[in-house]
Amino acid sequence: MQGGVSRAFNEPLQLSIVQPEAAITALRQLAPRADVALETARLRPTLAQLIITPTVRRHGLAHVDRERLASNMADVAAALKLPAPATGAVYTDALLPPLALRQLPR
């Protein structure tokens, strides 16, 4: 199933963006003592600052900038005195669902 894990993550995340209160209300099924108002107040800036970024708006959820990934891996490899792996050995977008399913809701 292509994109199954990504789809299982993206669909609820997209719904959380559109209806943060509903997402937190659903959370209460797992954490009955969760304070909906407080957790919604926490979720909104998290979404705004970490999820709804210009890159995600442009390329969709789960997009990886290969040049940035290569640079980050080179930095880590240099710090650990190891050879940097090829980006293709670490990441592939072949299993992602189509872009239309990864785009942010409007």
Report DSSP state, residue 47.
Answer: I
pLDDT at 69: 96
Maximal C-alpha separation, the chain: 48
CA distances from 59 to 32, 55, 56, 99 (A): 36, 6, 5, 8
* pLDDT category of residue 53 using cuts at 50, 70 and 90: very high
pLDDT in tens, 68-103: 999 999 999 999 999 999 999 999 988 888 898 899
| Residue 64 scores a pLDDT above 80 | yes
Identity at 98, one-letter amino acid code: P
Identity at 36, one-letter amino acid code: V
Q: How far apart are CA 103 and CA 17, in angstroms?
A: 12
Q: How far apart are CA 102 and CA 106, in angstroms?
A: 12
pLDDT in tens, 5-36: 777 888 889 999 999 999 999 999 999 999 99
Domain residue extents for the chain: 4-63+95-102
Residues 6+ apart with CB under 8 A from 73: 84, 85, 87, 90
